[in-house]
């Protein structure tokens, strides 16, 4: 599962507060929905204008997010390193500013999935018994019902702790 992380101080951040109040709620909602989509699709914070418009965004909201510095478009300037920010997008593209500062990259997500799959596979493989023990032989008799000659019923097996 991939998460889109939002800092608990985001709503009071100067970038968020720089969005005009009349557009702020819609712009922040669009930012959040787009971030969730980008996380799930593992785009490293990259979007297209068409996708954002399809999600219900308006050009005024896109412009507000770019002007506030929360998103970059092809006219933006960013001095942050590529380890923090995915960079400036091509024409008709958008990108989350400082995506890698707050979100995991596609490579990190895929590596984590690979690591977890390998760990799960290793855990599912049968393990050899410890040297000098035969656990199967020690417990086999507990799993079979036994017949008590003084009773006409079978005794249920004991559970193994």
139 falls within a domain = no
Q: Does pTM surpass 0.75?
A: no
Helix axes 59-68, 21-41, angle to 10 degrees: 90
1: confidence class by pLDDT, cuts 50, 70, 90: confident
Is residue 155 a contact partner of residue 146, using CB atoms and an 8 Å limit? yes
**Structural domain harbouring 24:** 10-106
Q: Given this model, what pLDDT does residue 18 score?
A: 98
Q: Given this model, what pLDDT does residue 2 score?
A: 87
96 falls within a domain = yes
Model confidence pLDDT, tens digit, residues 36-90: 999 999 999 999 999 999 999 999 999 999 999 999 999 999 999 999 999 999 8
Q: How far apart are CA 67 and CA 20, in angstroms?
A: 11
52 falls within a domain = yes
Model confidence pLDDT, tens digit, residues 129-160: 666 666 666 666 556 555 565 655 555 555 55
Q: Given this model, what pLDDT does residue 150 score?
A: 64
Q: How many domains does the chain have?
A: 1
Q: Given this model, what pLDDT does residue 153 score?
A: 54
Q: How far apart are CA 101 and CA 4, in angstroms?
A: 12
123: confidence class by pLDDT, cuts 50, 70, 90: confident
- DSSP letters, 49-77, are HHHHHHTT--HHHHHHHHHHTSEE-TT--
């Amino acid at each position: 599962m991939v998460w889109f992380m939002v800092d608990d101080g985001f709503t009071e951040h100067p970038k968020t507060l720089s969005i005009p109040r009349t557009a702020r709620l819609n712009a922040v909602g669009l930012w959040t929905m787009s971030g969730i989509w980008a996380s799930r699709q593992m785009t490293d914070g990259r979007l297209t204008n068409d996708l954002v418009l399809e999600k219900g965004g308006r050009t005024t909201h896109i412009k507000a997010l770019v002007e506030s510095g929360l998103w970059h478009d092809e006219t933006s300037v960013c001095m942050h390193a590529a380890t923090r920010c995915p960079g400036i997008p091509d024409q008709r593209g958008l990108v989350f500013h400082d995506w890698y500062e707050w979100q995991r990259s596609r490579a990190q997500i895929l590596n984590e999935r690979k690591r977890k799959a390998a760990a799960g596979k290793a855990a599912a493989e049968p393990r050899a018994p410890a040297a000098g023990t035969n656990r199967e032989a020690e417990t086999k008799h507990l799993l079979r019902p036994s017949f008590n000659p003084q009773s006409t019923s079978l005794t249920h097996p004991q559970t193994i702790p």
